Structure 1
Amino acid sequence: MTTLGLTRPTPVTFAEAEAIIDEDGHGEADGNPDGLARVYVSPEVDGWTLVIGWWCDPCDGERGDEVLRLCTELSGRYGQAQAYYYGAQSDGSAWLIAERGAVLRRYCATGEAEDDLFTLGEPLPLERARREELGLSAAWDEAARGDEAEDEWKSAAFHLAPEIATALGTSPLTLTAETRVRGTGVLALTPHPTGAEAGPVA
């Protein structure tokens, strides 16, 4: 939390956090119109700590560079750090994978014209495997547009973030009663300008 600049932690349950972060994401929270003012910091789950909220989007036009910096810094300290975006309403996926202080991969598939500008590093094994399943080359030009086969890949990539998260660490979408949990989750304010003005975190 110190590395991320998070403050005013308030213990909450997973269920409470889910409702609050969902409300934030839809711009329905007082004092948090852009959803960036607060995040949920989970207890340790299967050896990972999850930080959940719009503030963590690795391909956000305003926050992307900062998320990249933070993941790189965290991976230097803890060995690995990842950031994801997943729009459950077919809004796309994005992933950022960092290890030992270096970014291995950043990829964005949300249908926006700027998606290809976020691409860094070589495709992950899971990306390559999915493309091969589609009969596509494991190497490709991200800037290529209008190619029907590549459109098929972009459609598949829209839903890939949860699968990558599960393969490389853990996903909040796969937590069960059997998941190893240690500690207490908290809702915390981010250093985003609206964070200091968001009032109580719960």
Structure 2
Amino acid sequence: MIRSRLGDLIASGLFDRLDQRDRRLLERRAGIKSAGDEPFSLDPRGWWYAVPGAAYAGVFEALGLHDRFPVTLDEGADVEDLPFREDAVPTFVTPELDGWRLVFGNLPDLVGVDWDAWMAAAERLSARCGEAQMFYEDGAGGTDLWVVAREGRIRRRRAAYDDADDVGDPFPWEEHERTVTVAQACARLSVDPGGIGASTRMRGHGWLALSRPGIGHENLNALVGL
């Protein structure tokens, strides 16, 4: 996933021993590389969040993420392929894409697989970022789910094939669709990960962050559980 000497820096944990000046240089490096990169389609493995780009700093507190490390889109895109410790899973916060930042990677370990935990995470994100959207696609053919939360409350929730999970007033654009899938909803509401490309406006750099405080990025290449 991560190429060149940056990967060695992350895996060795050296970033956690850098002073503030060197940390700022790494942020500058990620910003410069990102400015020259062209956006490309992403595969968040069926589950992701979207938050307004300007308010993304609230993501780290809302999801309990720590030790953030500046990376480019390319360096963070395959976050789920990073080996990780069981108690320190990495999550990727993308650069700003058409005004939004996407959050994905190891979310079952970070958030959990319980319905109440899903909704609570969306509400916490929206409380800190103003708005948060959750998208979940069931690759086994089950119910696609999308959620819009604002200011700490679920404002709209729709399970594409289950009217029982229809919460909140439909958006005007929903009136023209019998069902609204995740792919349709994210394209309307924020950013479709699969539709990102050369015409997408990208700003800033992304972040890799961990689910456990104080551990740094050292030994992330160790076997899970060791």
Q: Give TM-score scaled by structure 2 length.
A: 0.55
State percent identity of aligned pairs.
29
For residues 74-109 of structure 1, give each alpha carbon's deviation from its aligned partner in whole angstroms, at most 9, with x where no partner exists.
Answer: 323433211111246756521111123321122345
Partners of 1:56 and 1:96 lie apart in 2 by 17
- RMSD of Structure 2 on Structure 1 (CA): 3.9
* Alignment partner, residue 129 of structure 1: 176
- Residues matched between the structures, number: 160
Partners of 1:77 and 1:92 lie apart in 2 by 28
Partners of 1:191 and 1:109 lie apart in 2 by 34
8 Å contact 2:84–2:221 — kept in the other structure? no
Deviation at 1:186, TM superposition (A): 1.6
Letter in 2 for 1:81: A
Partners of 2:72 and 2:153 lie apart in 1 by 33
For residues 130-158 of structure 1, give each alpha carbon's deviation from its aligned partner in whole angstroms, at most 9, with x where no partner exists.
Answer: 21xxxxxxxxxxxxxxxxxxxxx6xxx6x
1:166 matched to 2:200? The reply is no
* Alignment partner, residue 103 of structure 2: 51
SS in structure 1 of the partner of residue 220 of structure 2: coil
Deviation at 1:32, TM superposition (A): 4.8
Match of 1:4 among 46, 51, 63: 63
Partners of 1:196 and 1:116 lie apart in 2 by 44
Deviation at 1:40, TM superposition (A): 0.7
SS in structure 2 of the partner of residue 103 of structure 1: strand
8 Å contact 2:62–2:128 — kept in the other structure? no
* Alignment partner, residue 144 of structure 1: none
1:31 matched to 2:90? The reply is no
Letter in 2 for 1:19: D
Relative distance call for 1:66 and 1:88 in structure 2 (3 A) is closer
SS in structure 2 of the partner of residue 165 of structure 1: helix
1:40 matched to 2:61? The reply is no
Q: Give TM-score scaled by structure 1 length.
A: 0.60
Partners of 2:97 and 2:211 lie apart in 1 by 22
8 Å contact 2:84–2:220 — kept in the other structure? no
SS in structure 2 of the partner of residue 69 of structure 1: helix
Partners of 2:94 and 2:221 lie apart in 1 by 15
Partners of 2:187 and 2:139 lie apart in 1 by 16
Relative distance call for 1:200 and 1:45 in structure 2 (3 A) is same
Partners of 2:163 and 2:90 lie apart in 1 by 28
8 Å contact 1:41–1:51 — kept in the other structure? yes
- Consecutive unaligned residues of structure 2, counting only runs of 5 or more, are 1-59
SS in structure 1 of the partner of residue 183 of structure 2: helix
